[in-house]
Amino acid sequence: MPLLQEMCFKLPTFGQEVKIDEQLVEMLRRAKERFLDLLGERRRGTFLVKDVFALVDKLNDEYLKNNQIACGAGCAYCCRQLVCSTTLEAEVIIEYLGRLPRTTRREITRKARKEAMKFYERNRHSLSSRARWEEIAKALRASHYNLPCLFLNSANRCSIYPARPIDCRTAKTKKRCGMISGGEERPKDVRLFCDQIAANLITEEEERVNGVQQVSPLIALPISRQFGDFFG
Ligand code: SF4
């Protein structure tokens, strides 16, 4: 079987009993090796992130040639979950926005900042508590429940599609989506080897460049110390 196809194998989904046997470990090792081969020269920082995006898109297209999923343009359930990105991915988004025509960029950044501020004002008490991080994460997910992503436009389309984070690129399901109650994220039931390898490479690069595997919710981007100025 061609390795390219092997890389598009499904990983066990969360919640399933996972049997990590030697065969799975060996397949994952070979798939990672092949992924790195296809990536070619290992560039650094945001260049690596963009190369990984391009490769994972190509491999996902490969998977879709022989498999059907329920996802389609205009369906944006995933975009109403708590979507996160690394700092490097956030830099890719800022770079993309910076290249857009000024009026488009201002429209997107103003809306994003307004929504982020509203979210922050509504949740500042629960989110600034000194609770354990698991509790903060739970509160954040609950308060974010069913809230559209800052970059989802009025036509239910992503306004930063070419620069969307790896989480968005690899989210896919065979079941038709519907929000579930309680602010819990809906499990994504199709997870490929190449998706996992790509996500790992990005977080490893994040740690190499920034010293920590920092992953933050997109909703915090326009009010963050690092990127807030860009959003005005
Ligand atoms: S970045 Fe785009 S694809 Fe990702 S959640 Fe936001 S609107 Fe959806």
pLDDT in tens, 198-212: 999 999 999 999 998
pLDDT in tens, 151-163: 999 888 999 999 9
Task: Determine the distance separating the centroid of ligand 1 and the alpha carbon of 27, expressed in angstroms.
Answer: 31
* Ligand 1: residue whose CA is nearest its atom 1: 164
Please, what is the average pLDDT of the chain?
84
State the closest ligand 1 atom to the C-alpha of 83, by its place in the atom list counted from 1. 5
Whether the CB-CB separation of 223 and 116 falls below 8 Å is answered with yes
pTM for the model stands at: 0.87
State the closest ligand 1 atom to the C-alpha of 150, by its place in the atom list counted from 1. 6
Cα–Cα distance for residue pair 58/64, rounded to 1 Å = 10
pLDDT for res 81: 83
Cα–Cα distance for residue pair 161/97, rounded to 1 Å = 11
Task: Determine the distance separating the centroid of ligand 1 and the alpha carbon of 163, expressed in angstroms.
Answer: 9
Question: Could you tell me the residue range of the domain that residue 38 belongs to?
Answer: 3-231
Task: Determine the distance separating the centroid of ligand 1 and the alpha carbon of 158, expressed in angstroms.
Answer: 5
One-letter amino acid identity for 97?
L
pLDDT in tens, 118-168: 988 888 776 666 666 677 777 777 787 778 999 999 888 999 999 999 999
**Looking at the 3D structure of the chain, how many domains does it have?**
1
Residue 57: pLDDT over 90: yes
* Ligand 1: residue whose CA is nearest its atom 2: 158
Cα–Cα distance for residue pair 116/158, rounded to 1 Å = 17
Angle of helix 87-99 versus helix 193-210 axis, rounded to 10? 90
One-letter amino acid identity for 1?
M
Cα–Cα distance for residue pair 176/155, rounded to 1 Å = 20
